[in-house]
Chain A
C-alpha cells in the first residue's frame, strides 16, 4: 500500500513538473503574472511529492519488503539497518530517485530563498529547472521504476554489494548528487538569463552561491569516494582515473572555473558570455557523468546498470539540454555586452588564466575518458550503415584503421596530460590572487610573495636533502604546496592594509568572510597538491609470507604478526589478524586487518588495517594462508595520506565560509530585496 502511494506520488509530481515547466515560461514570455506566480507553489509541491515517494521506497527497504523487485535485488534481512537505509541509493533505480529528489529540492530552495529575484527571472529559472526534472521523471517512470513489484516474493533478498556496505561510501552518492544536481541551478540561471536577454552584476551575485554550494558538495563527495577507495579496496590507492571518477571530476573542474568567472561578472561585468557558456557546459558534464555511470558504456568498477535503453534515454536528455542550451547561447550570446574594461595585467586576466587552465584540464580528462569509446566506434566496421544507406568508413579509407581496435587510456596518460595544468595553476595562484582589479602592477603583486617563494624553495631543498633517492616529485610537491599555502596566508595579511601589527591583527579578524573563505580554500588546494605528490613519492611497500610471531622492518617501523583468528559479522565470515607496530623497539599500537567473505553475495573483500598518523599511515592487509604455512601480508607506509582529504575538506570549508559572507547571504535570502525591476518585460 505504502509502495503504491509512493509510486502514485511520483506520477503526480511528474504532472506538477510538466505544469511548472510550461506555465511560468509562457507566463514570463507573455507577461502574465498569474502564470508566472504558479512556479513557486509548484516547486514546493513537487518537492513534497518526490520526498513522499522517496520516503515510501526507504520504508520498503527498512521493513525489507521483498515483494519489491528492487529490495530483493539489493537488500537482505540480516543487513545492518544503516545499510538497509543507504541501500536505497546503492542501486540504479533508487539512486536516480535520489538524483530527482535533490533536483526538486534545489528547485524548491530557489523558490524559498529567491524572493529577491525579479519575478520573471525566478519564473524562468524554476521553469527550466522543472524541464530538467520532467526529463528525469520520464526516465525513472519509463525505464527505471523503483516501485516494480514481484508476483512471487522470495523469502529473502540478494544483499547489497559488500564493497558498498561501508559508512564512507554510504554517504558518498548523496554528496556527489548534491554537487552534480546543484549545477542544474547554475544551468537554469544561465538559460533564464539567455531568455531574459540580460546578464548583469546582480545575476553574477545570484548564481554564485548556488555554484559555490554545488562545488563544495562535489568536493566533499569526491573526497569521500577517494577516502573510501583508500581504505576499502585494499591497496591504498586513492585515485584511479576511473571513468566514473572522471565523471565527477570534470564537473568539479568546470564548477571551479565557473565559480571564479562568476566573480568577474559580479565585480566587473565582464566575461559574461563565457560564464554563461561555462554554466551550460558544467551541467552538461554532470549529465554526461550520469550517462557514463548509468549506461555502463565505459565499463568500470562502479557501473551497476548495463542497459542500453537507459543509456539512450540519458544520452537524449544530455543532447536536448546541452545542445539546446548551446543553441540558445549561440543565438543570444551576442546580446551579452561586456562593460568592464581591464588591463592585460589585472585580477581579471589572472582569473581568465585560471579559467583557461581549469577548462582545458577538464577537456583533457573528457577526451581521455571517451577515447576508448571513440576508437572502438570509429574502427569496428569497415562500412557504416545509416538506415538503408551504406558507405565506406572514412577512417579505413585514409588508412588510419584496417581492423577493429581497442585501446585503453589509464592512469599513466592522465598523470602525464593532466598534472601540468595543476602545476601551472598552483604557480600562478598566489600572484593572481593579490593582483589588483582592472589595472594591476605585476611588481606590486610579486614583491610581497618573494619571501613566500624563498620559504617554499628552502622547504623543497630541505625535503630533497632529507629524502632517500633522487626523485624530484616529492620536493616539487613541497615547493608547490608551501607556495600556495604561504601565498594564501600572505593574501590575507595584505588585505589588512598598512599600519602597526596590532592594528593589522585587529583588521584581520574583521575581514569579510569571503576573504577568509578564499584563503582557506586556496590553502586547502595547496595542501592537497603537496600531499598527493608526497604520498606518491615517499610510499614504502612490503609483501611477504609471515608466520605468527614473525617480525620485520618496513621503513622506520617494525611490524609483527601476533596472531590470526576467525571473525564473524552479521552477514559475513572471515579471518582477522592482530598486527603490532613498533617504532624504535617500542610498541606503538595494534592493527587489525580482516579478510571477509559475504556468503549471500558470494564475494570476498579485504578490510585493510590502518594506523592513522599525522605524518604517515601504517596500512596492512591480510592475504591468503600459504601452502607451507603462514599468511600473505602486505604492509604499506603511506606518508601524508590524511592530508589529501584534509586539504579537500579545507577547500570545502573555505566554500562554506564564503557562503556565510553577508554579501552572498543577502543575495540568497530576502533580507534586502533589490529595487524591483519591472516584472513585465516589453515583449
Chain B
C-alpha cells in the first residue's frame, strides 16, 4: 500500500483513504494499486481530495468494475459539493453513491 492510499478495515468494510489532493493521470497508477483487495463494503474516502479529472474518473471506474464483478457495494465518502456535481454529470453517482461516516458506525 502506497502513501497515496491508506487502508482501514473493520468487519466487512474497507475504507480506502485517498491521501493525494489530485486524482488525475499522475496519481492514477498509485490509486489503482489499491484496487486489488476490496471487501463486501468498500468505501473511498475523498476527504483530502481537492481535484478529480476524467483521468481520475477512469481509475475510479476500475473500482466500480471490480466491485460489480465481485458483487460488492462501493461508496464514496466526503466528496466535495463540486465533485458531487461532477459525479452526477457523468452519472458516476449511480455506481458509487455517497455514504456518510456515521453510516459506517454500525460496522465498527
Determine if chain A interacts with chain B: no
